[in-house]
């Protein structure tokens, strides 16, 4: 399954690395910007996701996540600012073992959102 809708309203999301163009290493070992099928640049932001405190309970530790974005979210998302994700989804991946394709050598999840908005704000930065 891909693009599994998730609800992160019980998490505080703080920017740890400002949004930037997503990059990948090509077959020549050079970094190049990632584009979608339409040739549009893709972006990425790193966030610290910490569960909101529940009265009477110990707050679990947070975790850094990286979120893919289809558009430049614009200004105002500096390190340390709190944000909300617009339409966040979760995706999974599994990489087969080269020696035995029936086995999985690596698996995980990645996050994607349509955009970012300042925490508590009504203004949305997302793809049209």
Q: CATH no. for residue 97?
A: 2.40.50.140
User: Into how many domains does the chain fold?
Assistant: 1
User: Domain for residue 126, yes or no?
Assistant: no
Predicted confidence band at 120 (pLDDT cuts at 50, 70, 90)? confident
User: Strand (E) positions, 27-70?
Assistant: 31-33, 43-51, 63-69
Q: How far apart are CA 46 and CA 17, in angstroms?
A: 5
DSSP of 67-120: EEESS---S---TT-EEEEES-EEEEEEEE-SS-TTSEEEEEEEEE-SEEEETT
Cβ atoms of residues 42 and 70 within 8 Å: yes
- Decide if 40 is inside a domain: yes
How confident is the model over 45-67, as pLDDT tens digits? 999 999 988 888 887 899 999 99
Domain range for 20:
4-121
Tell me whether residue 106 is in a domain: yes
Residue 127, domain member (yes or no): no
What confidence category does residue 121 fall into, taking pLDDT thresholds of 50, 70 and 90? low
Are the C-beta atoms of residues 90 and 109 closer than 8 Å to each other?
Answer: yes
Whole-angstrom distance, CA of residue 63 vs CA of residue 122: 26
The model carries a pTM of 0.82
């Amino acid at each position: 399954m891909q693009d599994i809708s998730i609800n992160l309203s019980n998490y505080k999301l703080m920017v740890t690395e400002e949004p930037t163009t997503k990059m990948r290493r090509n077959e020549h070992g050079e970094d190049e910007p990632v584009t979608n099928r339409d040739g549009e640049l893709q972006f990425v932001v790193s966030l610290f996701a910490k569960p909101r405190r529940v009265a009477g309970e110990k707050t679990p530790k947070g975790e850094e996540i990286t979120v893919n974005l289809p558009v430049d979210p614009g200004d105002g998302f500096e390190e340390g600012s709190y944000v909300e994700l617009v339409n966040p989804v979760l995706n999974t991946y599994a990489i087969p073992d080269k020696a035995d394709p029936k086995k999985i050598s690596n698996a995980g999840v990645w996050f994607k959102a349509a955009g970012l908005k300042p925490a508590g704000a009504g203004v949305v930065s997302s793809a049209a």
